[in-house]
Amino acid sequence: MRLLNIIVIAALILAASIVYKIKFDSTLQAERVAKVAGELRRERNAIATLRAEWAKLDTPGRIQGLAERHLALRPILSTQFDSLDRLPERPPALVPPPSSDPIGAMIAPTEPDATGSVDVPKAAQ
């Protein structure tokens, strides 16, 4: 009977130590989760701040003011634009030749098929 009591007490002590270790590990993990959650919150705040700064720096009025202040640009005049009917004609090299089969003309090869084989010398033929 005495041996059984000693075994039960040892088992209780072992179980208590295992429960304590599990509790300690879970507390440690909870602290790590809280730390990572804090870092995540700080990073999200930093991203929001950077986005707000980018929106401020990217406003067209600010960029226009910087361009006027630092670049020697002249404003666009309406005389710089012309109507489409005054454009020059397209160069003849870019105009495809007239054909009775327009689709066939588009898919026809313009040069002979090239292969990886070596040409046979004319003397050997």
Q: In this model, does residue 118 exceed pLDDT 90?
A: no
pLDDT at residue 101, as a whole number = 73
| All structural domains of the chain with their residue ranges | 2-70
Can you tell me the distance from the alpha carbon of 24 to that of 18, in angstroms, rounded to the nearest whole number? 10
22-26, 30-34, 53-57, 65-69, range with the lowest pLDDT: 65-69
> If DSSP codes are grouped into helix, strand and coil, which group holds residue 120?
coil
pTM, full prediction: 0.45
**Residue burial 65-87, b: 16+ Cβ < 10 Å; e: rest:** eeeeeeeeeeeeeeeeeeeeeee
Q: In this model, does residue 56 exceed pLDDT 80?
A: yes
Nearest to 21 by CA among 31, 13, 32, 10: 13
Can you tell me the distance from the alpha carbon of 117 to that of 124, in angstroms, rounded to the nearest whole number? 16
Average pLDDT of span 61-77: 87
Give kind and range of the element (H or E) at residue 83.
none
Please tell me which residue, 102 or 74, carries the higher pLDDT value: 74
Tallying the residues shown for the chain, one arrives at 125
Can you tell me the distance from the alpha carbon of 61 to that of 52, in angstroms, rounded to the nearest whole number? 16
Q: How much is the CA Rg of the chain, to the nearest whole Å?
A: 41
Percent of the chain past pLDDT 70, that is, above it, reads 77
Indicate the pLDDT class of residue 110, thresholds 50, 70 and 90.
low
Q: Which amino acid is at 70?
A: H
